[in-house]
Structures are given as C-alpha cells and as structure tokens.
Amino acid sequence: MYFNDPGNQNNVFNLNAEDLKNRIVDMMDFVKDPISSNDYCPEEDPKLYRSQKTGRGPLNEDWVNECVRTGKPVMCAYKMCRVEFRYWGLQTRAERWIHDLALRNTMLRAHRQAWAWQDEWVGLTMTDIRRLEAEAAEHLSAVMAKE
C-alpha cells in the first residue's frame, strides 16, 4: 500500500488486536539505512544521485523530515510480510535471516534503484508502462523456457 505520508499511520492493514500486539514495525529509509558493500553501487546512491529530468536529489539523511517541513511530496510504501519457520531450534534464527536478507535487503535495494532510475520512468504513460510490462513478461518467459 502506498500513501502520501512519511510513514506515520498506525494500522493501514486493519490488523486485529492480536496481530497488532505481535507485529514488528521496521521503518526502512533507503537513504539512511546501511547497504552491504557487495550491493553498493554509487550510481544508485540516493545521497549522490541527481535526476536530470526532475532536478530531484541528492537526498540527505533527514530527507523525510525536510520534505514534511517544506511541503514537498513524500510517499511511504507500507509492506506487510509474515514469516513462519516452524522448526524447533531454528525458528528464530531462520525467520530473522529471511526478514533481513530475503525481504529487507531486497526491498532496500529495489527502492534505491527506483529512485536512481527515475529518469527512465518519469513521464511514462500507462500505455508505455503496460508495453514495458509485456516486454518483461515475454523476456522472462523466454528465459524460463530455456531452463
């Protein structure tokens, strides 16, 4: 779910009281949060990137508060992920690994890329986007057929 806010909504998924009590909220910031040296790419660093089309960027570590203060648009992507690994002795460690590596790091990289690649998608129409989706699906099908 996406909202035009800095991530301050408490229950966008309308969770019941039990789920609210058990949830863990992990506020991710694609500018501030560390990324592994293996995943780091200077061209995708929001602290360095400046859009040629929009003039947006580079972003500083206080970018969210700055947007709120100055009335600039800011969007939060709310994601809900449930991880269950029910094997005694491994559950906590496996669930933490899945959260940190498979989910958190992937989302962090994807949001950094979305920011740094904005000159490729800013100004596209829905027709353009649907065409790109169809091309990607066709390419994926061709790759899968070879395996």
The tens digit of pLDDT for each residue in 73-117 reads 999 999 998 887 787 877 878 878 778 778 889 999 999 999 999
Fold of 2-116: Alpha-D-Glucose-1,6-Bisphosphate; Chain A, domain 4 (3.30.530)
Q: What is the DSSP string of 12-62?
A: TT---HHHHHH-------TTTS---TTT--GGG-TTT---TTT---PPPTT
The tens digit of pLDDT for each residue in 86-96 reads 878 778 788 78
Predicted pLDDT of residue 83: 80
| pLDDT bracket for residue 37 (50, 70, 90) | very high
Q: What are the domain boundaries of the chain?
A: 2-116
Cβ neighbours, 10 Å, residue 141: 9
Predicted pLDDT of residue 90: 79
